[in-house]
Amino acid sequence: MINGKRVAVVMPAYNAARTLEKTVGELPELVDLKILVDDHSSDATVDVAARLGLRVFVHGKNYGYGRNQQTCYREALAAGADIVVMVHPDYQYTPLLVSAMASMIAFDVYDVVLGSRIIGGGALKGGMPLYKYVSNRFLTAFQNMLTGAKLSEYHTGFRAFSREVLTRLPLLENSDDFVFDNEMLAQCIHFGYRIGEVSCPTKYFEEASSINFARSVKYGFGVLGTTMKLRLQKWGLANYRLFSDGGRKLLLDYYASGSEPGAQPVERAEVERAKFERSELPEKVRH
User: How much is the average pLDDT of 83-93?
Assistant: 95
**Predicted TM-score (pTM) above 0.95:** no
Most confident of 5-14, 111-120, 197-206: 5-14
Q: How confident is the model at residue 282 (pLDDT cuts 50, 70, 90)?
A: low
- Checking if the pLDDT of 8 tops 90, the result is yes
157 and 132 Cβ atoms separated by less than 8 Å: no
Q: pLDDT tens digits, residue range 125-157?
A: 788 888 888 999 999 999 999 999 999 999 999
Q: How many CB atoms lie within 10 A of CB 62?
A: 15
Burial of 46 (0-12, 13-18, 19+ CB in 10 A): buried
Percent of the chain whose predicted confidence (pLDDT) is above 90: 75
Instruction: Among 16-20, 27-31, 241-245, 248-252, name the one with the lowest average pLDDT.
Output: 248-252
Instruction: Among 49-58, 175-184, 243-252, name the one with the lowest average pLDDT.
Output: 243-252
User: How much is the average pLDDT of 92-101?
Assistant: 95
- Structural domains in the chain, CATH included, are 7-280 (3.90.550.10)
